[in-house]
Chain A
Amino acid sequence: MDVKDIIKEENLVYGKTKLLTDNIMHYCPGCTHGVVHKVLAEVIDEMGIQEKTIGVAPVGCSVLAYNYIDIDWHEAAHGRAPALATAINRLYPDKYVFTYQGDGDLASIGTAEIIHACNRGENIVVIFINNGIYGMTGGQMAPTSILDMPTSTTPYGRKVELNGYPLKITDLIAQLPGTCYVTRQSGHTPAAVRKLKKAITKAFENVGKKKGTSFIEVVSTCNSGWKLSPVKANEWMVEHMFPFYPIGDFKDE
Chain B
Amino acid sequence: MTEEIIIAGFGGQGVLSMGKILAYSGIMQDQEVAWMPSYGPEMRGGTANVTVILSDMRISSPILQEFDTAIILNQQSMDKFEKMLKPGGVLIYDPNGITRPPQRTDISIYQVEAVEEATRLKNAKTFNMIVLGAFLKVKPIVKLENVTKGLEKSLPQRHHHLIPMNKDALTRGMELVKQIR
Direct contact of A and B (CB under 8 A): no
Q: Which residues of A contact B (CB under 8 A)?
A: none
